[in-house]
Amino acid sequence: MSSFAALCTALAATIGTGNIVGVATAVQAGGPGAIFLDVVGRLVRNGNKNMPNVYLQLNIVFAIKMALWLAVQCITLNAG
């Protein structure tokens, strides 16, 4: 199996053959502008898909910072 065939097989398994055929059909029907619109649409969808993970990480960082701030305040009050 050539490296290109392995790449195509991996992409078909990950992306799906329907998406690959859909992009090829869109380019055939609409020209290069279809690729641009497809990329923009995928960025929006992927951004929405990953936002809960980003919010979770931001909340964890915020919670750690608040816990550290509270610990410093408690130490300061007890020392003074």
Complete DSSP assignment for 16-69: -HHHHHHHHHHHHHH-THHHHHHHHHHHHHHHHHHHHHHHHHHHHHHHHHHHHH
- pLDDT value, residue 47: 65
* pLDDT tens, residue by residue, 16-57: 767 777 777 877 887 777 778 777 777 777 666 666 776 777
* pLDDT tens, residue by residue, 49-65: 666 776 777 788 888 88
pTM exceeds 0.85? no
Task: Give residues with Cβ within 8 angstroms of 1, minimum separation 6.
Answer: 9
- pLDDT value, residue 6: 86
